[in-house]
Structures are given as structure tokens and as C-alpha cells.
Structure 1
């Protein structure tokens, strides 16, 4: 069985499993089912050989294992995979999210804009109705006020009349559709700026209170997730110790590890959302300051003046509307992040049902729960000597200030602890230093873990990847397989790249790498260019004739001075030559008797003839 046949079998199996899961009430996507099939097939515990062909028994066994895992009730592992898929489909970069928000606004306003631009006006009532539609479009597009508020509609209508009087509506409708759309956008910005300025003149605080900056929900959710991670980690640390006092108690360790992985993934996603929320709050603060400054500038421009030229204030109104639109988009992005946070909560229900808070507190009675912050703030048990690292490069924390911004393997978790403590996840501490192996960076939870990992790095890396095959959710949590659920990290996380290596280098370049080209006909004087332009323009009106016409007698007298040719003589060399006589020979007696004698006669003329 070649690779193509095997892929076809797995593809058909994925479709079949998806239908079977739907029949049992578990609606799963093809991506989740395919990932589960790959995970079960590559798990060493299931004894499938990836290099050999799949028999009928293997296919049946694979289907049963996958179906049991996919339809399992209260499975934190399956919930983690669903969470990863949802986040990969819902979250993208900040730029893309803002672009989607703008596209959603344009799609929502597109029917009303089309209705305005495609209108055919014949009666006075139709003109009035169209004018009201333009006012409604401006209010909905700018979100300055509600179109249902009569006072807001009257204020917007009065502002629009100062920019586009009803008498000029016919000229507006005579424009092309593209020009009408552009003009409508200009009207929206100007009228929205006027309405915002009027609001700020009455109460400036109302503009800032419209979009409250709040991300406490994400912070509270992250704090709860971190506390839960600390409880799971502390309990697993005690259960996985050989001399644990809880060995005799009936605690499902495998489910506890799945719950820990679920909480860790939830925490990682919440960190991304919170980082974006902080960036949104910062941008909204800057925009609000600019909005206040722009409002004050407008107040100074129109202060104690009966009339102000439109060319002076209209750009200020449009700038005010642009700032308001930026605030609106940032607030909408904050809502999107909060919605994603709320939609992540159902994926943590399984581990919450398996391990309720009372049950966990009872298991942890008498134990000190440590969070990641507590572990990282503990004093280290001695710095690592560079002489002890013989096979790998060790980067002490004092050598590079940006060592905490490196992109760490296994998502920053300690690979040695994961292998030697049977799947326990402990965060690596970059303050101890970072190990560099084959261009990749690894952090560890303790000094001993770093030394042991450095003695056999390839073996530990292979063991981490092998153990992760048994838990498919770890492939994404450790960033070992990013092609299944790919998403862009937040700006802070995405900036963690390899540090720039500095070295002494030199480069030699030519003084003039491009050949100089001097244009002799170049003119810098504008008046000379004008003179040439007039000359060329005059030539267009001229006409030439090759024959005499009736108007030839009307030509004016003119005179021309020339230099007459002078007599001159020259002596040249004379060439002469003659031909040499061509040799001619006549032979007789060539035909006839065999005994005939051949006679040769020379007929060549003499040279002196």
C-alpha cells in the first residue's frame, strides 16, 4: 500500500467517523476527526506500524479507538482539541480583526447606500424621503446617535443642511454612482464631526463615556484559570512522586493530566486575548486624548465668530470623525475579544465536572498551592557553570537582556520534567538561563533539569515528541504541529524571535554604482521651458506647400546672404593597369586511330602585343 492509497483510506475513515459521531449526537468537524485519527495511528500504545500497510483488522481497530475517543463523555482532552480548533478559526491578527470589523460595517450599510445611490427622483416627496435616508445613513454609519432618537435626527438634519442643502440634492443625484458614494462618505465624516462637536460643546465627558475601556472580564477569567492550573499542578506533583501519601487514594491521574492540559491551553489563549485587550485599551486612550485635543482646536477655531470659512473647519470636522471611527473600531475589537473569551468557557466544562472545586480542595488539604508566578519568583538553587555545559551552548540571563523574549520550544515548558515526571507540565524559568541546541532555545524549571537535558538533548526531544503523540492536544500546546490549527500570536507574543547576533563586518561599495547620465537638453529655467512650449504650439498651426498658390504673390520680401563658392583646383593620382594574356593550348589527335600521334599547339598570345 503506497502513501496515496493510505491517505485515501484515512480520508474515507474520517468522513465515516464524522457521520457516526453526528449520529451519536457529537457534531465534530473534519479537522478534529482527522487529527484524532492521526494521533491514534501514531500513538505507540496502539501498536500501529506507520510503514506497513493497514489490514482490515487494523482499520477496524483504528475506527473503534477513534470512535470511542471522539464520543467519550466528559473528556478534557477532546474539549482541548475543540478549544484549539475554535480559537484557530475565531482569532487572527489584530490587523485582520480590524479589517473584518470594517468589512462588517460596510456590508451592513451597503443596502442603504445602494438604495440612496440608485434612487430615481421624480416628485418632491421622493426628494424629502431620500434626504431622510441620507440622514439615517450618516447616523448609522458614524454611530454618533441612534436613528430612532428624534432630537438626534433633527440635529443631524440641520448639520447636513449646512453642508448639502436640499436644493442641491438634484445635483448630487446627477453624479455618477462612484462619485455619489465618495460624496456620501465625505458628507458622513463632515456631519458626524459637526454632531460630535455639538455634543462636546455641551458635555465633553459624554464622548469618552460612550466607549468604556474595560477588560476586567478577561483578567478575572485568566486569574481563575491560573489558580486552577496551580491546583492541578500541585496535586499532580504530589501524586507522581514515588513516596506520595496519596498513592492509595482513588485519584484518576490520567484524567487529572488531561484537565491540566486543558487548563494550560485555556490559560495560554487567555494570555493572548489579554495582551490584545491591553493594546486596545492603550490605543483607545491615545485616541481619546487626540479627540479632546481636536475638540479644543475646533473650539478655538470657531470661538466668538459668526461665520467661519468651510475650507478651514471642514477638515477639522473630518479629522474629528476619523478619530471617533477609530475609537468605535477599537471598542468593537474589545467586544470581539471578550466574545471569544466567553466562547472558550464551554470547553472547560468537562474538567470542571470531573474535578469540582470542593473535590480539588479536599485533595489539596494541607498542601501549599503554588502558581507559576510563585515558582518563577523562588530563589534558584545555584547558577549553572558554563564549564558544565560541554555539548550545548548555555545562555546565562546576564549575557543578553532580551533572553526573556526568545521563542522557547515546548511553549516554554520544561521538557525534562515532562519526560521524567510522567507528563507533568512545569513552566521553564528563563532567569536560570536558556539552553541553545541546533538553533532552538529551551528553558527548564531547575538547575538539575537543565544539566540532565543538556547531557542527552536529542533523546529528550524525541521522547517529548513521542509522548505527545499519545495526547493529541499537546501537539498544539507544545507547538509541535502548527499546520492543523494555525493562528497568529498577539503582537507581544509574536515579537519573540531569535535575537540578532552582532559581529564585526565590513562592506565596500562603489562611489557611483549607477552610471551618470547628463542630459544636455535639460532646462531648469521655467521661462525657457515656456518659450519652447509656445514655439511647439505655434508649429501646430503652420502649413507648408510644395507648389505655387494664389496667395504666393502676397508673400513678403525677404533677403538671404550667402557665401559664394570660390574657384579651386586639386591634383589627384591616376590609376592604370593591364591584364596578363590567358594561356591557351590546342591538342590534336585525341580521337581517331589508336596509334595516332597527339600534337600540342600553344596558342597563348605574347605579352608585348
Structure 2
């Protein structure tokens, strides 16, 4: 009745957040009663309409990131699906036709040229020079006189041969471009990426710096308010905590973007080295057209430049703190960089934030693994200072349960999302 239009995804995220919030007492082990459903609806509507609540902004941020930022597998699948959809009519026209006259055969052959050009993504059918290059390369490995053999193949075999021809012809074009004998319509992708990626990472880094400044300001205010509740009467501690969660969620997403940018830059450098090495080998090997089969390898290299592995970057805040003395604890296991293999890859609980401050103070403070990481029941915990690390280690199970009851962190298993108090 408020006249607001909301996406189904946003509503679904809100429902999940409300249900998983321990303070709302929804029992996931039983079917919701009618009263439960009405209560759930009311809670969701209230929070969806409260535009002054930073927690709503946090959920919108999560929804936007989830629906707009794909991981590597999703990206590859989507790109392949779109490309196949666009080429499907052309493929059917090639594989389902039964040309008999010379004119019909020439027409199908020209459609194969078009398919190879479009499928490679290197050039446009409106680029006459690119079409000529593809035609010449195709004729060198699949002359038109072999069309009767192609026509006799099954539909499935024709589709596979089209893919093989695309790989081969594209490899030839890349080789010719390297030899400065062609390459019309082929962009210098490594050079473009070497300029674009650093620019993107700089932008993300600038946003991260601004984000860190806000985090420190909010955290300092909250700690000051806890020490002296009357110092800032105009501020609401609860709203300030929600704002801190909002910035922390934004920070988490920026870290993912920055990680992907760094990984991409490393991939470009590595693949470019491999590509150049392969081209050098080809130049020393190619003597006649039969050797052109080797250039398929080069195509794989260039293709891979376009896609990058997505990894989660765990940021550790290494402040100058006194470390935990492991000998102070007889029954606790502490991990340090010098005694733990792949220390920087440890999966820290609570997304790396201090395991003590979450439940006790209701704050999200960055954990400092360099202080010492507590390994308790096969899970790792980091802390913001030596003092709170000692306190937590006296009774880990109690503090872990307190964190669960506070409901500050999501039970959703994704590392992308942070929960927040309503």
C-alpha cells in the first residue's frame, strides 16, 4: 500500500535475513505457522520500507553484487550460451542443408567463412579485409573441393568440424598477425588489458582507502560511545553499528574486485609470455601449410587471456601488536606465520574479523593474524589484540555461542556476505 516497487531478489534476500536473525526466533526445524508467516511478512515489509536504515542499503548492495558480478564459471557459461544462441541459425543453415549445385555449395562454403569469423570473435563480417583473411586461411586447410566430404557427415560431426576449423583458422590469423602479414580486425588484447586492468585496480583501491577511513571513524565513535554513553547524545549507537556493517560489506565486495584485478593482471602477464614463446617456436618450425596445425595452441593461449580465475582475497590487518605467547596455554593450539604452511591462506572464521569483539562489543573489528591464530575444534580465529585473544582463549565455546546469539554474522556460507543487526 506504500506504492513502492521492489525486485523479487531483494525481497528474497530480506526474507532470508529476517528468518536467519536469531532475535526473531524463527525455528527452521519446523513448518512456519500462519502467525509466523504474518510476523515474517510484517518484519520484512517494515524493514523494506525503512529507507533510513543502513541495513536495507546493505541488503540492496548484496543483491546488486549477487545479480551483477559473476564468477569465472558463470561468466564462461553465459558467454558461451550467448554466442551459441547468436550462431545457432547460421549453424543450422550449414549443417542441415544439402547443397547439390555448385552455386549452392559455394553459398554454404561462404556461410562457413562467416561462422568461423563470428565464432572467433576476431573481426566483423562487414570488414572486407578480415573476410578475405579468413577465406584465405580456410582455403589453405579446407579447400572448397572438400565440401562433398563435409556434406556427407552427420549433423553432429559437421558441428564439431566447424569448431575445429574455427580454432585452426583463428590460429593461422594470429600467426600471420605476429608475422605482420595480416590480422585485420584483431585487437591487441594483451596491450588493452595491460592498460585497462591497472586503471581499474587503482580506482578500486581509491574506494577502499575511503572505505577504510569510514570504518576507522565509525569504530572510533562506537568505542568512544561505549566508554562514555553521554558523550554523543545526538548519535544512535544502533544505527552507527548498522552503518559500520554497511561499510564493511562494501569493503568486502571491493576486496573481491581488487583480488580479481590482481589475479587478472598476473594471468595476462603469464599468458602473454606463453603466447610469445609459442609464436617463437612456430616461427622456427613452420615450413609449409601442414605445420599450421600447431597454431591451434596459440589460439588457446589468446582465448585464455580473456578469462581469469576468481579467488577470494582475505585481507589481514597487520598492526604492530605484541604476539600471543603459546606457552601460556597448555591445551590450546596457536598458529603463526613461521610455524604454519600457507599461513596467509588459513580460513579465518567470521571473515577474518576479531572473534571476541563481535559478541562482546557488538563491533566488527579487523582481526590481526600476526598476533596469533587460535585453532579450536579445527576452526581458526583471529583477534584485534593480544589481550582479547587471551580472554577468548579462556573459554572459546562460550564466546562462539555468544556470537551466534548476537546474530551479527550470517549463517549463509558465502564469504561475500556479512549479516547485520536490525
Q: 1:221 aligns with which of 179, 204, 207?
A: 204
Alignment partner, residue 358 of structure 2? 418
Alignment partner, residue 581 of structure 1? none
Q: 2:269 aligns with which of 285, 297, 308?
A: 285
Alignment partner, residue 420 of structure 2? none
CA shift at 1:165, angstroms?
2.6
In structure 2, do the counterparts of structure 1 residues 425 and 159 end up closer, same or farther at CA, with 3 Å as the change threshold?
A: same
Alignment partner, residue 296 of structure 2? 318
Alignment partner, residue 462 of structure 1? 401
**Does structure 1 retain, via aligned residues, the 8 Å contact 2:122–2:187?**
no
Long gaps (5+) in structure 1:
1-19, 338-371, 490-609
CA shift at 1:243, angstroms?
4.7
Using the alignment, how far apart are the partners of 1:404 and 1:316 within structure 2?
40
CA shift at 1:124, angstroms?
4.0
Instruction: Map residues 206-217 of structure 1 onto 2, 5 A cutoff.
Output: 207-209=188-190, 211-213=192-194, 214-215=196-197, 216-217=199-200
Would you say 1:24 and 2:8 are equivalent positions? no
Using the alignment, how far apart are the partners of 2:342 and 2:397 within structure 1?
26
Would you say 1:147 and 2:125 are equivalent positions? yes
Using the alignment, how far apart are the partners of 1:150 and 1:454 within structure 2?
72
CA deviation map 1:471-491 (0-9, x unaligned): 5xx31xxxx332xxx4799xx
What SS is found at the alignment partner of 2:8?
coil
Would you say 1:376 and 2:318 are equivalent positions? yes
What SS is found at the alignment partner of 1:415?
coil
Task: Considering fraction of residues, name the structure with more helix.
Answer: 2
CA shift at 1:324, angstroms?
2.7
CA shift at 1:435, angstroms?
1.6
Would you say 1:439 and 2:417 are equivalent positions? no
Using the alignment, how far apart are the partners of 2:145 and 2:188 within structure 1?
33
Q: 2:215 aligns with which of 232, 251, 255?
A: 232
My pick for the range that moved more, 207-216 or 281-290, is: 207-216
CA shift at 1:74, angstroms?
4.2
Question: Which protein shows a greater Rg?
Answer: 1
Aligned residues: 406
Using the alignment, how far apart are the partners of 1:161 and 1:53 within structure 2?
67
Alignment partner, residue 54 of structure 2? 76
CA shift at 1:401, angstroms?
4.7
**Does structure 2 retain, via aligned residues, the 8 Å contact 1:144–1:196?**
no
My pick for the range that moved more, 396-405 or 443-452, is: 396-405
CA shift at 1:187, angstroms?
1.9
**Does structure 2 retain, via aligned residues, the 8 Å contact 1:200–1:206?**
no
Alignment partner, residue 16 of structure 2? 35
CA deviation map 1:202-254 (0-9, x unaligned): 28996455652433324422441343233233333234324559823523432
TM-score (norm 2): 0.82
Using the alignment, how far apart are the partners of 2:92 and 2:259 within structure 1?
39
**Does structure 1 retain, via aligned residues, the 8 Å contact 2:215–2:248?**
no
What SS is found at the alignment partner of 2:347?
coil
Would you say 1:394 and 2:334 are equivalent positions? yes
In structure 2, do the counterparts of structure 1 residues 467 and 226 end up closer, same or farther at CA, with 3 Å as the change threshold?
A: farther
**Does structure 2 retain, via aligned residues, the 8 Å contact 1:408–1:443?**
yes
Would you say 1:119 and 2:97 are equivalent positions? yes
In structure 2, do the counterparts of structure 1 residues 120 and 275 end up closer, same or farther at CA, with 3 Å as the change threshold?
A: same
For the aligned residue pairs, the C-alpha RMSD in angstroms reads 3.5
Alignment partner, residue 481 of structure 1? 412
TM-score (norm 1): 0.59
CA shift at 1:400, angstroms?
2.6
Long gaps (5+) in structure 2:
418-422
